[in-house]
Chains A and B, each alone.
Chain A
Amino acid sequence: MEAFDYNKVLAATDGDKELAVEIIGIFQDQVPVILTEIDRAIQAGDARQLQQAAHTLKGASGNVGAMVIYGLALSLETVGKNNEMQKAAELLEKISEAVKTFEQATVHLKGASVE
């Protein structure tokens, strides 16, 4: 699976590249907040909160073509739903890695929005 699927985000925006860059920016601003929430849920052992936060991450990542994050968020959501908290920390670590990869994969788009 690709870390960044540009076609996905273009489908989401109906080919609008400027909007694509804009929502990727919103996503990147939002990610640290969601990751903190996930971390907090894991520390507190709060499966419901974990499921919520993972769900938010899933929704946002799918729209920006962050397909690896999307897949991991989906797994994490299931972990929350089934209350298998012992699996959560490892997934969070993988998500943090995937976020870095996504940032590298999208860095070239910034400043190239006006074409």
Chain B
Amino acid sequence: MKVLVVEDDQVSQKLTVKVLEKNNYEVFTVETGKDAVKFLETGEEQIDIVISDIMMPVMDGFNLLSYMKADIRLRRIPVILCTALNDINSVKRALTLGAVDYVTKPIDANTLLAKVRNAEKRVPGAVLVVDDEDLLRGLLSKIIMRDGLKVLQASSGKEALELLDKNNITVVLSDIVMPEMNGLELLVEVKEKNPTMPVVLVTGHGSEYSKDDILAAGADGFISKPFKNAEIISRIRPYFK
């Protein structure tokens, strides 16, 4: 789990970071809401949870939260705001703007952890994109990420199975034609391990497999190349309630 801590006070920042790191979270830090937006928008790290202070120079926690909820790519990320003790108005405002929870300062390590663990349950799973061709895999990933979903990429069926074991994945999107394990073989392996894991297959023009073959093999969906961006999204979105 990747957590972004947005906090200008060094004591609170250090404390939050250490408590989370000790509990195996991967933690990133910035000091203002503005820097948080910059960090999140580069998309280099796909952050799962944001913990933000409220009062900060240059874009406060409320503004950061509102910005994230209005941005399709950032909307999925659960946000926890830090408020001062007994500041009931801030708590109300935070929850109204869409924060999943709040923590009060002074920080209590156990309360903080319990709240982060709760927020973790609200983190949507990723789309696992499987394709041996870098270009197409990158394109599919970009289309999906632009829609605000988290993506994991695998360049082979073997790598895909490893990632499935270790990560929270909601749906698999795989090309069919790949060396070694092809998409249909991957489909069988995935369903053997986890019959309810949705698998959507992508097939090329004039492929040796027909749509009927693919669905009969147990795929949950089917996309043929060339595809439109919207088609990818409409096949994937239904798996994210």
Contact = CB atoms under 8 A, between A and B. Distances in A.
A112 B107 CA distance: 23
Interface residues of B, number: 22
Contact of B11 (A8, A11, A27): A27
A23 B16 CA distance: 11
A19 B15 contact: yes
B55 A26 contact: no
A68 to B, nearest CB: 14
Interface string A77-105: 00000000000000000000000000000
A114 to B, nearest CB: 16
Given A30-B10, A56-B8, A12 B55 contact: no
B12 A63 contact: yes
Given A52-B55, A58-B84, A62-B106, A13 B18 contact: yes
Contacts of A16: 18, 22, 109
A98 B10 CA distance: 20
B10 A59 contact: no
B106 A26 contact: no
A23 B109 contact: no
A14 B110 contact: yes
A62 B12 CA distance: 9
Contacts of B213: none
B107 to A, nearest CB: 5
Contacts of B108: 11-12
Interface in B84-118: 84-85, 105-110, 113
Contacts of A42: none
Nearest to A57: B9
> Which of B18, B19, B105, B106 counts the most A-chain CB atoms under 10 A from its CB?
B106
A14 B14 contact: no
B16 to A, nearest CB: 9
A41 interface: no
Given A52-B55, A56-B8, A59-B9, A12 B14 contact: no
Contacts of A46: none
Interface string B12-41: 101100110010000000000000000000
Nearest to A31: B11
B195 interface: no
Contacts of B84: 55, 58-59
Given A13-B18, A56-B55, 15 more contacts: A8-B106, A14-B113, A16-B18, A16-B22, A19-B18, A23-B11, A30-B11, A52-B57, A55-B55, A58-B84, A59-B12, A60-B9, A62-B105, A63-B11, A70-B106
Interface of B: 8-12, 14-15, 18-19, 22, 53, 55, 57, 84-85, 105-110, 113
